[in-house]
Structure 1
Amino acid sequence: MSSQTRKATHAGSWYSRSGKDLSAELGQWLAAAAADHDHRPARAIIAPHAGYFYCGKCGAHAYRQVDAAHVRRVFILGPSHHVRLGGCALSMTTTYNTPLYNLPIDTEIYRELWATGEFEKMSLQTDEDEHSIEMQLPYIAKVMESRKNDFTIVPVLVGALSTEKEQKYGRLFSKYLAQPENLFVISSDFCHWGERFRFTHYDKSHGEIYKSIEALDHKGMKLIEDLDPAGFAHYLKKYGNTICGRHPIGVLLNAIATLREKENGHKMSLKFLNYDQSQQCRSMDESSVSYAAASLAIR
């Protein structure tokens, strides 16, 4: 691992380059989102990773459930959009930059993960090209600003995993999910609909196209809320819904399943708190991306 800092390469295009402006915008969205006391403090969240103009308000509903006082370490699992990975990869840098402040990588946890032999190296070019992890960083910095010198991050790039590998990585990460000082951020948008995404599933029984998209997304969201990794995998195979973070979600569901198998008496509850679409499609010429925010509580 080098001592390089990963630049905030999408600042100024996907979100504000100004730390002051960005902090104010994130603060407004967080203030407008409700705290769900049944799902706060979050042990894991699912949050979108598009430009904040499209999904910033939605993401706030997940981050609103984070209590900085409980968090010492933030695992960020984001899907790979630009390189083919059969497994998962770790950054070769030690610090991630944001317009708010820099976030240090947890080198001790990285050493533990490297020691498993299950992780590839992520080049700096791949790291800086990828937006799925970066788009979570400003929100993490914002909700953790009261403890900005007292927490670390564990960024993990997740490839196109088989269900067997989702189970393997789920087992690997389950011990960290079990620790109350850890927060997992699962980076995912939901349905990418339209010709440009090569996905035009339309069930006319739901009415307008955007209603059909919403119904399809909610089928998958219900299986995630049910903490059903096999059911979610079957749903993806049956419908082909273009949920870009399906593999990070699969890893989370399998980590939860591993903990439940141990019968440690803890109650686990995952709930989706917000859903949105970039636009409401009414014709086959249009396109949209869906966004959803969820929180997992472990009691």
Structure 2
Amino acid sequence: MLRKPVVAGSFYPARKEELLKQLEWSFRHKLGPGSLPKTRRRGDVMAVITPHAGYQYSGPCAAHVYKTIAEAEMADLYIFLGPSHIGFHKTCFSMDDWETPLGVLMSDDKFGAILEENEIDLVPFPHKEEHSIEVQLPFFQYAMKDKIDKVRFIPIMVTEEDWQDSALRIKKSIEQYRKKVCIITSSDFTHYGANYAYTPFDSDIKENMYRLDKGAIEKINKIDAEGFMDYCEKTGATICGKAPIAALLTILKGKAKKAELLKYYVSGDISGEYDVSVGYAGILLK
């Protein structure tokens, strides 16, 4: 089956030529890395965390992450972890191929079969309306354009209800796969403002958002899944992808040693509207 794009034309341009311009704008933006990806070098990327908002806001942050992926050695499989914004409450994956204006990405049937053996549910329909992974794919296709025919991926929606058990099942599946894997986790950070029913402070919004998100990033740096989730609960930090982030940290426990913050800013740095603003973090785990 082929999963068609559902947020092309809203989160990112629907026309290929306009999309490529938007991607290159993101890489060259003053909040982005400042240049397009260079040729691949030695070195692997184990995992990353990257935002999933409209490209006009989060694109420059995501560009930092995808420049790193574009310049690294290719993995055998790219696993995308994303949250559910549509009210689905059970971790599941899809084996559909996914289409964007830049072409079709092929799923990895072998890894999908391993996930099923380890009781991760194959349920494609929640993925058909969810944007958090779709928004990653044009950036990913741009980063992998030199090897796109060889790329294989699997999208997994991770929910707050079962992230711990699911993370262990995904980790076991990766170990059984026995090939090089890169995990791309999709999440924005704090959503501030009346629109998000979250206004814990009313002054120095940018500075306070960074302070709040910095606390979460410190838990990520320690590869501390439980500490990260406890921090989100205690502070009320509105990190929409906290479940997939916690799952990622569980999967990487004993493997990754630390995280590197590639970029952080808030949408107000672009829009000028800090009273309704979202934090974006690009993070490399290694």
Check conservation: 2:83, 2:241, Cα contact below 8 A.
yes
Report the CA distance shift for 1:285/1:182 in structure 2 as closer, same or farther (over 3 A).
Answer: closer
> 1:145 & 1:105 partners in 2: Cα distance?
16
1:189 is matched by which residue type in structure 2? D
Find the partner of 1:272 among 257, 261, 267.
261
2:240 is matched by which residue type in structure 1? C
2:227 is matched by which residue type in structure 1? G
State the Cα distance separating 1:69 from its structure 2 match: 3.5
Which residue number corresponds to residue 85 of structure 1? 89
Which residue number corresponds to residue 135 of structure 2? 135
Which residue number corresponds to residue 13 of structure 1? 10
Which residue number corresponds to residue 185 of structure 1? 184
Uncovered stretches (5+) of structure 2, i.e. residues with no partner = none
Q: Which moved more, 1:54-63 or 1:65-74?
A: 65-74
> 1:133 & 1:256 partners in 2: Cα distance?
20
User: Are 1:287 and 2:276 an aligned pair?
Assistant: yes
Q: RMSD of the TM alignment (CA)?
A: 2.7
Report the CA distance shift for 1:296/1:246 in structure 2 as closer, same or farther (over 3 A).
Answer: same
TM-score normalised to structure 1 length: 0.83
Q: Which has the higher contact order (CA 8 A, sep 6+)?
A: 1
2:20 is matched by which residue type in structure 1? S
User: Are 1:217 and 2:213 an aligned pair?
Assistant: yes
> 2:252 & 2:83 partners in 1: Cα distance?
19
State the Cα distance separating 1:127 from its structure 2 match: 2.0
> 2:176 & 2:190 partners in 1: Cα distance?
29
User: Are 1:74 and 2:73 an aligned pair?
Assistant: no
1:132 is matched by which residue type in structure 2? S
Check conservation: 1:170, 1:254, Cα contact below 8 A.
no
> 1:228 & 1:157 partners in 2: Cα distance?
21
Identity %: 29
Check conservation: 1:166, 1:254, Cα contact below 8 A.
no
State the Cα distance separating 1:113 from its structure 2 match: 0.5
Report the CA distance shift for 1:277/1:89 in structure 2 as closer, same or farther (over 3 A).
Answer: same
* 3-state secondary structure, aligned to 1:249: helix
Uncovered stretches (5+) of structure 1, i.e. residues with no partner = 261-266
Q: Which moved more, 1:25-34 or 1:187-196?
A: 25-34
* 3-state secondary structure, aligned to 1:12: coil
Check conservation: 1:177, 1:184, Cα contact below 8 A.
no
Find the partner of 1:110 among 104, 109, 112.
112
